[in-house]
Amino acid sequence: MRRIRSKDTAPEIIVRRLVFAMGFRYRLHQRDLPGRPDIVLARHRKIVLVHGCFWHQHARKACPIARAPKSNQGYWRAKLAGNVARDESNARLLRAAGWKVLTVWECETRSPARLFARLTRFLGRHN
Ligand SMILES: [Zn+2]
């Protein structure tokens, strides 16, 4: 299955740099895991997914940047609903395999302090 979004998007790089600065090491886009998750901390059995708010349909109530497509709405609705279903199924498979999964949304990467707090809560302190 092809992914639509490109690798190495700006929000993903922001999260990667922060996780790295916190002292954690990880693998990227590990092929043998469902959905080729963005950031894999194998030793901690944790995964951080960085989701674009449009492509992965962040709940509009919670999100300052998610928007509805203006044209071709039928096409987009189906496409985006497919992304969301695939995200849910991948996360379920990962959790069933014993991984802890954190989803970070694009809009959250715009607030470094909050992002850091979320990552710290999920990953704990590295020592
Ligand atoms: Zn968002």
Q: Could you state, in chain order, the average pLDDT of each consecutive group of 10 residues for the chain (127 residues)?
A: 58 96 94 95 96 92 85 91 96 98 96 94 87
Distance CA 109, CA 35 (A): 21
Q: Which DSSP category does 15 fall into? A: H
Centre of ligand 1 from the C-alpha of residue 57, in Å: 8
pTM, to two decimals: 0.87
pLDDT at position 1 = 41
CB 60 within 8 A of CB 33: no
Centre of ligand 1 from the C-alpha of residue 69, in Å: 15
User: Which residue pairs, CB below 8 angstroms and at least 24 apart, start in 96-100?
Assistant: 98/45, 99/33, 99/45, 99/46, 99/47, 100/44, 100/45, 100/46, 100/47
Centre of ligand 1 from the C-alpha of residue 52, in Å: 7
Q: Which of 24, 13, 86, 20 is nearest to 50 (CA)?
A: 13
Centre of ligand 1 from the C-alpha of residue 127, in Å: 31
pLDDT at position 67 = 79
Centre of ligand 1 from the C-alpha of residue 89, in Å: 20
Centre of ligand 1 from the C-alpha of residue 63, in Å: 4
